[in-house]
Structure 1
Amino acid sequence: MTGVFPDFHRAPNIADHPDLYERENEAIDPDGRLWRALRDQADWAGRTVLDLGCGTGFWLPRYAVDAAGVIGVEPDPDLLALAREREVERGEVRHGSAEHIPLPDASVDVVHARFAYFFPPDCEPGLAEVRRVLRPGGALVVIDNDWRHGEFADLLAASPWASAQGTADTTDAWWRDRGAVRTEVTSAWRCRDAAELEAVLRIEFPGEVVDGWVRANPGRRELDYRYVLFTTTA
């Protein structure tokens, strides 16, 4: 196993709370709207899909249902170990990063990057590396938050933790200049109860931001959550 990759930035939300982050993953997109949109952009059925920044590997079994092959790449050694504990048919997990994908040229058909690495404008090296491993006609789909619409966007706007990810205008312009298709998807976070929603919010936002939201929304177990997908083809 190699050392720390230069583009690796530890994500405390998942790294410090992997079990709770998995509950967050279970709560997002309860009606499957995101998954339908992902398939519309680049269906992976019968193809090889790369989950770039796969974390604990939560999504790998879902891809494996109908993909020809599933590869997870993760830079965080602790999360990598958790991902490797998941047994995925036709799947494997490798230590790597967006700038250092441990795969041959033209070896995958679809790449998904879910809230991982692609926070413009400083991510050109990762995009070049993704294009290297994509087969001709393959697609990269970046799953990002919608920073303009919905209750989750309001929380992002109130959070100093989110400032490092840039702005919606910067992100949109960067992808537009690279010929990406931008798609908005309306979804939700739907937790088992209000306590669980509060808990997952607390790994994503500062305490004072969550305190204010909880006071204004007592008993809520769901909030409006919207995505933006950026799709570019090789």
Structure 2
Amino acid sequence: MTLYRDGVFSDFHRAPNIADHPDVYERENEAIDPDGRLWRALRERADWAGRTVLDLGCGTGFWLPRYAVDAAEAIGVEPDPDLLVRAAERGTVRHGSAEHIPLADASVDVVHARFAYFFPPGCDAGLAEVRRVLRPGGTLVVIDNDGRRGEFADLLTASPWASAQWTADTTDAWWRERGAERTEVMASWRCRDAAELEAVLRIEFPGDVVDGWVRANPGRRELSYGYVLFTVTA
């Protein structure tokens, strides 16, 4: 297989929510987990303080400065060349993907993949590559949507975009077969106002799905949001 084509990985699939709307996606990142529940759970699963952490599929690098506060080293890997330029303004980044991580064997302690690549089935190549770069005892934590709990899950159920990508049962079964530990975290999205929440929802869901939610929830700037963490130890 040819690794590159026209400057990008030949197996790269562009993510339109962030690639087409990077500034709105920044607002989404600001809105998630306002009470810090997800971050506490990530620390409990695999604390990166004083260790080397890889943000796999880092996008615009939004989370790199936060990792860098107490990590020994924080590295972002991103396949989208345009997003990589933005990420480089925030920290150390490499052009790569889940299947092609440009790091040495056994060089990373913690890998976080936040809504990036791991949409089972068909993720074994990326998982094998993550295992390659993890040091013995290192940890991969995949941050995914909970398709069963929270108002966001209701939107996922209503969206043909989401149903075409994954189902909760398929995802759970895939990770269970690979020995992952599953952790549920109930949090929320909290935007500055209703207009911002609507704008964020419109990059994630079809217009008619968002229209229905906005009509049923006038003036809302927050919704409940469930996460699932899948943890694999090298």
Q: Same fold (TM over 0.5)?
A: yes
Task: Work out whether 1:185 is the aligned partner of 2:185.
Answer: yes
Q: What is the match of residue 33 of structure 2? A: 29
Q: Following superposition of structure 1 onto structure 2, how do residues 43-192 of structure 1 map, counting pairs within 5 Å?
A: 43-86=47-90, 88=91, 92-192=92-192
Counterparts of 2:193 and 2:26 in 1: how far apart (Å)? 15
- 1:55 is matched by which residue type in structure 2? G
- 1:37 is matched by which residue type in structure 2? A
- Per the TM alignment, residue 164 of structure 1 is displaced from its structure 2 partner at its CA by 3.1
Q: Give the conservation status (yes or no) of the 8 Å contact 1:189–1:224.
A: yes
Q: Following superposition of structure 1 onto structure 2, how do residues 204-219 of structure 1 map, counting pairs within 5 Å?
A: 204-219=204-219
Equivalent residue of 2:12, what SS?
coil
Structure 2 segments unaligned to the other structure (5+ residues): none
Q: Following superposition of structure 1 onto structure 2, how do residues 12-23 of structure 1 map, counting pairs within 5 Å?
A: 12-23=16-27
- 2:34 is matched by which residue type in structure 1? P
Post-superposition Cα deviations, 1:178-215, rounded to whole Å, max 9, x if no partner, equal 11000000000000000000000000000000000000
Q: Percent identity?
A: 87
Task: Work out whether 1:6 is the aligned partner of 2:40.
Answer: no
Q: Which moved more, 1:207-216 or 1:158-167?
A: 158-167
Counterparts of 1:103 and 1:32 in 2: how far apart (Å)? 30
Counterparts of 1:39 and 1:6 in 2: how far apart (Å)? 34
- Per the TM alignment, residue 6 of structure 1 is displaced from its structure 2 partner at its CA by 3.3
Post-superposition Cα deviations, 1:78-122, rounded to whole Å, max 9, x if no partner, equal 000110122x3xxx1000000000000000000000000000010
Q: What is the match of residue 227 of structure 1? A: 227
TM-score (ref. length: structure 1): 0.96
Counterparts of 1:142 and 1:73 in 2: how far apart (Å)? 15
Q: Give the conservation status (yes or no) of the 8 Å contact 1:190–1:221.
A: yes
Counterparts of 2:11 and 2:42 in 1: how far apart (Å)? 26
Equivalent residue of 1:46, what SS?
coil
Report the aligned-residue RMSD.
Answer: 1.1
What number of residue pairs does the alignment pair up?
230
Counterparts of 1:141 and 1:114 in 2: how far apart (Å)? 8
- Per the TM alignment, residue 5 of structure 1 is displaced from its structure 2 partner at its CA by 1.6
- 1:45 is matched by which residue type in structure 2? A
Q: Give the conservation status (yes or no) of the 8 Å contact 1:7–1:97.
A: no
TM-score (ref. length: structure 2): 0.96
Equivalent residue of 1:34, what SS?
helix
Q: What is the match of residue 201 of structure 2? A: 201
Counterparts of 2:141 and 2:11 in 1: how far apart (Å)? 19
Counterparts of 1:166 and 1:222 in 2: how far apart (Å)? 25
- Per the TM alignment, residue 163 of structure 1 is displaced from its structure 2 partner at its CA by 2.1
- Per the TM alignment, residue 13 of structure 1 is displaced from its structure 2 partner at its CA by 0.6
- Per the TM alignment, residue 4 of structure 1 is displaced from its structure 2 partner at its CA by 2.0
- 2:80 is matched by which residue type in structure 1? D
